[in-house]
Amino acid sequence: MHKTPAAFLAVFLWRAVAATGADGLLPEPATLSSDKEMQALSERALDRLMRGEVEGFELLKRHSVEMGSQEALDRFFRAQADRVKKFMRKGGQPLACELIARPKVGDSFCRYVYLCKYENSFLRWVFTYYRPREDWLFFRLDFDDDVNALFEDARRAPPPRAETVTPKPANPAPE
């Protein structure tokens, strides 16, 4: 079994920035008001992330806690997208994803854990959200191929309603 090194984990922890301007810093993040919005954002991003498309990270960036410079984030996003593409060379094309767990810690943290199937392997994607006040912010993303962690996620959290996300074709055929 292919074991992914710890460096493969994509972890986003950025400093909040209040202003935007010539310094290249990003604006204050947009918040999410419900579980439904968090799940929708996770699935929209995942549809692109599972194919190694940097645009998936861009969707998350707008809702993120602690942001740094645009240039540093862009470099980081490209590096993570390249890691997914490298995985796909061995794992094959993405087939489908399913939400396997949605654990919460009090009223402050919520995770959406997805199992994404590829032709020859899988990736576990973990989206973590944080609620400092009334609304939610995207806090962190991890992805790996740790089968033991996948079973732990499923064991710890009651299973959500069965849902499957099927990737859209990267380049749809013209009609």
The structural domains of the chain, ordered by start, are 31-165 (3.10.450.50)
pLDDT of 27 > 80? The answer is no
Residues 6+ away with beta carbon under 8 Å from 41: 32, 59, 60, 63, 127, 138
Given this model, what pLDDT does residue 53 score?
Answer: 85
Residue-wise pLDDT tens digits, 93-139 = 999 999 999 999 999 999 999 999 999 999 999 999 999 999 999 98
Q: What is the pTM of this model?
A: 0.73
Residue-wise pLDDT tens digits, 150-173 = 888 888 766 565 555 566 655 555
Rounded to the nearest integer, the mean pLDDT of the chain is 77
- Contact 46/165 with Cβ under 8 angstroms? yes
